[in-house]
Structure 1
Amino acid sequence: MSKSNMDLLEKNSYKWLVLALATYSQASATFVTYGVAPLAALWQQDYGLSQFQTGVLVSAVNLGPIFSMLFIGDALDKYGERWLIGVGSALLGLTMLLASFTNNYIALVIILGFVGVWYGTAQPGGSKVIIKWFPKSQRGLAMGIRQTGIPIGGAVAAALLPGIYLRFGSSFAVLTQTILSVLGGILFSLLYRDQSITKINNGSNRTFKEKMITIFKNKRLHPIFLVGITMISLQMILVAHLMVFLAEKLTISISFSGKILSIVLIAGMIGRVVIAWVSDWLWKGNRTIPLTICVWCAILGLIMLLFLSNDWSIWVTIILCAWLGFFGIGWFSLFIVEVSERASEDSIGLTVSFALTLNQFAIVLAPALFGFLVDWQGSYYTAWICLIILISISGFWLMFSLAVSKKTTNNMIQVLPEKRG
């Protein structure tokens, strides 16, 4: 076997190790950040916190990435992924460890805010790893697998941390988060290979400001950004409000509606892999068409949700909620790949970070605004309608951009033979 074939075989094998490292790193980081929610519920009981104070603890983690992801994305483009993801994951865990040394509420909020800052390395860094190591024909599947790290990390945190907390105490629960996150950082730093800095920068010396201007001027990204904002709003609203909505609408127990929500999340995890894989297999790397389908399928599910009643079979309700989970959560892998592939080659990390920063604002604001509309109107109807309208706007814009892209491609195909002649 020639040296070039051996190198190719080694690279093909190594990329699957890279995928495993990126997935574990994402899962361990999410185990910390998503684990704040069950810990906050237990802290509320132990320290007599109000609902507002408990909510602020969760919000603090989600606010952190807003202040860090843009700068981390730019650093990823300049210096590579190895040390930024590795050290970021380790610092994420070590910062969380500080929470076990304080009983002061304000100090806890500040600590959790810094935990969120370090979480800013996980998403853009892991996404760039997939773009770098996997060809376009396999990118969707690889990104889908990596994205399962988020629901897996969250599910394991919800399953394990309350039991650990109640049996061994708050400090031991936090220590568990620290160990898993630091281990993820160490493994990534030891086993991941970066490209040379010259190759990473690709000969570009553009400043942060110049790259940001390019992102703003890239009109192909604008509809994708809006899809991200509206669909992540749907995702967070489902997580925050669907349980109570189902319990009130169908007069079922919160416990049973919680089981339906778990089906939504499982369907979303499956969707993140399946939909992304289908974009590789059926649409040959075209992400816009399946992403558009996801948007309109989610809208269809929300419209059906408006007519939900006790007259429906519970199985029809479960199928509808699974549909919403599959498309309303499963869209995310396509979104990340689409943003990455529409970005300039020397600013993939920064572009993904910018998109995720926009999403992060929606993650913080959407559940609260939805709840405000429900309280103001005294029903969920207006809130669901507003959400449907917003997602529809993003769907129409995405369809328009797809039509323009096809027209441009067809014009280029028609012009090329004329130039040859």
Structure 2
Amino acid sequence: MHPAAVRRCAFVAGTRPATGNYWNIQCHCILQGASVSYRVFDVSQGPDVMNGLLSLRTIGLTSGALAVQATITMASLTLAMLAADPRSGFDISRSLVGLYTSSVYLGAAIGAMLAGGFVARYGPIRVSQFSLFSATVGVAALAFGNIWIALPVAFFIGLGYGPANPSASELLARHTPKAYRPLIFSLKQTGVPIGAGAAGLCVPLLLGYMSGAETALVIAGFSGVLVLLFQPWREQFDTGRNPSAPIGYQEVRESMAMVMSYPNLRLLAAASFGFAIIQLSVGAFMVLYLTEAIGLTVIQAGGVYAVIQACGVIGRIAWGAILVRIGDEKGMAMLAFLALLMAIGSGCAAIMNGGWPMPVIIAVCALLGFSAVGWNGIFMAEVANQAPADKTAAATGISIGCTFSGVVVGPVIFGILADLTGSYAVGFSALAILTGIAAVVLYSAYRRTVGLVTE
């Protein structure tokens, strides 16, 4: 049938019979005045394709993945929140808090790269439970009030933090509709700001009623309950496990070789390194920049920072919804567009001064929020799309390992540039150049992928 011959087609209803891997689709296609019906086969995705984003399974899995991400993020930030509040009794210096945070992300980078083997051997639900278990143990250890106990446990939290995304990506890629992945993955990634917000809200609230040690135990208990709540899902979703799947150096080497053998996966991993640098640099230095260089008050700068984070949450969802609308095959182009927005925002931040109107300053920071904080869900979905069908966790793990590497080194490099030059403008200019190059390379890769250019 030639596509031009179909004048109009309206979907009426879809039902799946009790047996058989197909759907009966009732529709009316106006074709030379005739109305026809089709039986459409889809073995791989079944009811989720028809029910789309509103299927109970899709909603449940997305909510579960979001809960894991939010809980492990909240756990990683609990010590910083306790140290900031004198009611907690945690007399910990800023440098030790920084060392604790670095230990978390070091463990996360290693855990992410090891995730592929663990997911293959134990399944994504069991690995998600391990992520929650690591949060439970790590936060409970804070109750001792000893930073030297907390530091090695911070590394353990990181070992659980790292696999949270690869295991969720494997689970969502297996059991949710491909067409909705950009939005589903973007919704899941809102767990990071939700977890950060939960830590900032819950810790001070709990400290109004109990000690710092008791607060840590309450948060640990919440994470432990989630470990148990995930158990009923294991039999249903941890299928196809390979008990002999390699774990450790061999698995990491194989996963890295796999990522390197796919040009787009290789590029996505490299891009995430750069994107993490700008995201963490903006998060770590924007308030200082606005107060020291632009001349805003602490309250004004804090308000602008809140705008950045809010735009990041909105952006994660909005970009995912837009990509669902225009087609998930345009994921690389969308990431190129976001990199371009990062470059524009960073360039504007570099030349910004105290003479700029407040609405313009807010607009520049909002642009950075939408792009530099809002890219993560699109990135996760595109890695899942580009990876081989049975290697989603491995590809995501290596890519996230690169991301966490950017998290670790980005703020350090930005801070060194600011100290050496006495200006934040050099750091923001470097970010603009970095993301501008990423935009060009990503869009070139998209054009090659869709065949717009030939080698």
* TM-score, structure 2 as length reference: 0.83
Q: Distance in 2 between matches of 1:136 and 1:292?
A: 21
Q: Distance in 2 between matches of 1:127 and 1:44?
A: 39
Q: 2:126–2:234: 8 Å Cα contact kept in structure 1?
A: no
Q: CA deviation at 1:249?
A: 2.5
1:324 aligns with 2:368: yes
Counterparts of residues 190-339 of structure 1 (less than 5 Å): 190-191=232-233, 194-195=236-237, 197-198=239-240, 208=251, 209-339=253-383
Q: 1:25–1:185: 8 Å Cα contact kept in structure 2?
A: no
Q: Distance in 1 between matches of 2:91 and 2:132?
A: 31
1:2 counterpart letter in structure 2: P
Corresponding residue number in structure 1 for 2:165? 123
Between 1:243-252 and 1:186-195, the stretch displaced more is 186-195
Partner of residue 68 from structure 1, selected from 96, 111, 117: 111
Q: CA deviation at 1:333?
A: 0.6
Corresponding residue number in structure 1 for 2:413? 369
Q: CA deviation at 1:48?
A: 4.6
Q: Using CA pairs below 8 Å that are at least 6 residues apart, which structure has the higher relative contact order? A: 1
1:92 aligns with 2:135: yes
Q: CA deviation at 1:335?
A: 0.7
Higher strand share: 2
Q: Distance in 1 between matches of 2:328 and 2:131?
A: 34
1:3 aligns with 2:18: yes
Q: Identity across aligned pairs (percent)? A: 21
Q: CA deviation at 1:403?
A: 2.3
State the Cα deviation string for residues 147-176 of structure 1 (Å, max 9, x = none): 111111111111221332354111122112
Corresponding residue number in structure 1 for 2:30? none
Corresponding residue number in structure 1 for 2:102? 59
State the Cα deviation string for residues 313-347 of structure 1 (Å, max 9, x = none): 21121122111101111111111111121112222
1:152 aligns with 2:182: no
Q: Distance in 2 between matches of 1:280 and 1:159?
A: 33
Partner of residue 181 from structure 2, selected from 133, 139, 147: 139
Corresponding residue number in structure 1 for 2:71? 28
Q: 2:189–2:316: 8 Å Cα contact kept in structure 1?
A: yes
Corresponding residue number in structure 2 for 1:169? 211
- Assess, with a 3 A threshold, how the Cα gap between structure 1 residues 78 and 47 changes in structure 2: closer, same or farther: closer
Q: CA deviation at 1:190?
A: 2.1
1:321 counterpart letter in structure 2: C
Corresponding residue number in structure 2 for 1:394? 438
| 3-state DSSP of counterpart to 1:168 | coil
2:365 counterpart letter in structure 1: C
Corresponding residue number in structure 2 for 1:415? none
Q: 1:93–1:182: 8 Å Cα contact kept in structure 2?
A: yes
Q: Distance in 2 between matches of 1:263 and 1:49?
A: 29
Between 1:236-245 and 1:298-307, the stretch displaced more is 298-307
Q: Distance in 2 between matches of 1:336 and 1:358?
A: 13
State the Cα deviation string for residues 185-241 of structure 1 (Å, max 9, x = none): 22222245544644x66x999972434322222222122112111111111111100
Corresponding residue number in structure 2 for 1:417? none
Partner of residue 19 from structure 1, selected from 42, 54, 62: 62
| 3-state DSSP of counterpart to 1:19 | helix
Corresponding residue number in structure 2 for 1:112? 154
Partner of residue 80 from structure 2, selected from 23, 37, 45: 37
1:83 aligns with 2:129: no
Q: CA deviation at 1:283?
A: 3.0
Q: Distance in 2 between matches of 1:47 and 1:91?
A: 21
Q: Distance in 2 between matches of 1:91 and 1:45?
A: 22
1:187 aligns with 2:224: no
Any stretches of 5+ residues in structure 2 without a counterpart? 1-15, 25-44
Q: 1:82–1:193: 8 Å Cα contact kept in structure 2?
A: no
* TM-score, structure 1 as length reference: 0.89
Q: CA deviation at 1:410?
A: 7.6
Between 1:320-329 and 1:36-45, the stretch displaced more is 36-45
Q: 2:127–2:163: 8 Å Cα contact kept in structure 1?
A: yes
- Assess, with a 3 A threshold, how the Cα gap between structure 1 residues 75 and 309 changes in structure 2: closer, same or farther: same
| 3-state DSSP of counterpart to 1:379 | coil
RMSD after superposition: 2.7
- Assess, with a 3 A threshold, how the Cα gap between structure 1 residues 204 and 156 changes in structure 2: closer, same or farther: closer
Q: Distance in 2 between matches of 1:256 and 1:214?
A: 47
State the Cα deviation string for residues 37-56 of structure 1 (Å, max 9, x = none): 22233489945543322211
Q: CA deviation at 1:100?
A: 0.6
Q: Distance in 2 between matches of 1:296 and 1:317?
A: 19
- Assess, with a 3 A threshold, how the Cα gap between structure 1 residues 36 and 48 changes in structure 2: closer, same or farther: closer
Q: CA deviation at 1:304?
A: 1.3
Give the number of the structure whose alpha-carbon radius of gyration is greater: 2
- Assess, with a 3 A threshold, how the Cα gap between structure 1 residues 39 and 195 changes in structure 2: closer, same or farther: same
State the Cα deviation string for residues 265-300 of structure 1 (Å, max 9, x = none): 110011111101111111344211111110001111
Higher helix share: 1
- Assess, with a 3 A threshold, how the Cα gap between structure 1 residues 196 and 153 changes in structure 2: closer, same or farther: closer
Q: Distance in 1 between matches of 2:245 and 2:160?
A: 27
| 3-state DSSP of counterpart to 2:263 | coil
